[in-house]
Amino acid sequence: MKAFSSMHPFVLMIYFLSVLITAMFINNPIIQFSALFGGIAFCGMLTTAKQKLSDIAFYIPLLILISITNPLFSHNGETPLFFMNGNAVTLEAIVYGVFIAVMVIGVMLWCKCYSLIMTSDKFLYLFGRVLPKPAIVMSTALRYIPMLKRQSAKVKKAQKAMGFYTSESYFDRLRFSLRVYSVLIGWSMENAVETAKAMNARGFKLKNHTSYSNYKFKTVDFLLLALNIALIIFVFWGVGSGAVAFSYYPQITHIDTSAFSLAVYSAYLILVFIPFFIEIQERIKWNCYRSKISALHTQRMKKEQ
């Protein structure tokens, strides 16, 4: 169960924008590592064990690749460590490469959480009336990506049942993959035509058409929105005052550890871990309910005996 997903779509959109904008545009290692660890914790709560292993196999090589790529192409900095092909590899370039890798992976993790939480119906609910055509295009695109993945898995299973994919030849595997691609193209075109007909039948082109939504702004939504706004305003205040200013070039500066700076770091850390705490609280509550149900069932069985 995704407890954070049950929040109002407007609150969710404001939250993800707050986290992502801060992670992408604030050049501070503590902010970046906070976004990374928060994304890891939240994404870990939303994915299965198999998906976690797949993410580890993807993100760790990506981290290494980005970290070692920047020093090879950027030679800025005042602390050369060694020379390669006559070009200095500097400490600042290496540290900045690690920073870029942490930032990119942190943003990618939060974007993955966004895709798991902000479904197409929530996106359509937020922007359907203001920007109906762009909203329906974005909603349909976001919906088709997971649909294509699921359909691809079904086609592959069907072809394996028919005896394909048994050859170890690279050419045969490529030919079978092209067969899957061809099936997916035909299926997607047919699905697009059916979707267009369904939209026309439901009066999408009418000016006064209405849409059903079951989202209500609850007290917990207001509290989360107020906390989010308070924390992000405090973080932006710290950014504007220079409390979290940091530079990699031409020399790595020191991280400000004043009381105000630590408060800004703590505010953003709390912000990125809010979904994780909500999910943990929901799981604890759910486990308590399960244990109570199990205890009641055991007592009933004893009475019947």
Q: Identify the pLDDT of residue 23.
A: 92
* More confidently predicted of 233 and 172: 233
What are the φ and ψ backbone dihedral angles of 29, each rounded to 5 degrees? -65, -35
> 26-30, 84-88, 203-207, 225-229 — which is least confidently predicted?
203-207
C-alpha to C-alpha distance for 279 and 72, rounded to whole angstroms: 41
Q: In the predicted model, what is the mean pLDDT of the chain?
A: 83
Give the global pTM: 0.79
Does 199 score more than 90 pLDDT?
A: no
Q: Any idea which residue has 């992000």 for tokens?
A: 232
Signed CA dihedral, 147, 153, 154, 159: sign only: positive
pLDDT per residue over 147-158, tens digit each? 777 888 888 787
**Residue 135: which pLDDT band, with cuts at 50, 70 and 90?**
low
Q: What is the arithmetic mean of pLDDT over 49-58?
A: 86
Q: Any idea which residue has 């691809």 for tokens?
A: 152
Decide: helix, strand or coil at residue 3: coil
What are the φ and ψ backbone dihedral angles of 87, each rounded to 5 degrees? -110, 140
Beta-carbon count within 10 A of 33 CB: 16
Q: Identify the pLDDT of residue 121.
A: 77
As a three-state string, the secondary structure of 21-52 is HHHHHCCCHHHHHHHHHHHHHHHHHHCCHHHH
Q: Identify the pLDDT of residue 209.
A: 63
C-alpha to C-alpha distance for 66 and 64, rounded to whole angstroms: 6
Positions of E strands within 70-177: 80-84, 87-90
pLDDT per residue over 158-185, tens digit each? 777 777 666 666 776 777 777 777 877 8
**Which pair of tokens denotes residue 105?**
């992976």
Does 130 score more than 90 pLDDT?
A: no
Q: Identify the pLDDT of residue 235.
A: 94
**Which pair of tokens denotes residue 162?**
């028919």
Does 193 score more than 80 pLDDT?
A: no
Q: What is the arithmetic mean of pLDDT over 63-86?
A: 80
Q: Identify the pLDDT of residue 167.
A: 64
Cα–Cα distances in angstroms (integers) from residue 180 to residues 84, 126, 150, 290, in the given order: 46, 35, 12, 43
Q: Identify the pLDDT of residue 211.
A: 63
Q: Identify the pLDDT of residue 251.
A: 80
Q: Identify the pLDDT of residue 153.
A: 80
Determine what percent of the chain is predicted with pLDDT higher than 90. 25
> 96-110, 200-214, 224-238, 264-278 — which is least confidently predicted?
200-214
Does 17 score more than 90 pLDDT?
A: yes
C-alpha to C-alpha distance for 240 and 160, rounded to whole angstroms: 59
Q: Identify the pLDDT of residue 35.
A: 94
Does 279 score more than 60 pLDDT?
A: yes
Does 110 score more than 90 pLDDT?
A: yes
Q: Identify the pLDDT of residue 265.
A: 94
Does 252 score more than 90 pLDDT?
A: no
Can you name the residues that pair with 88 across neighbouring β-strands?
A: 83
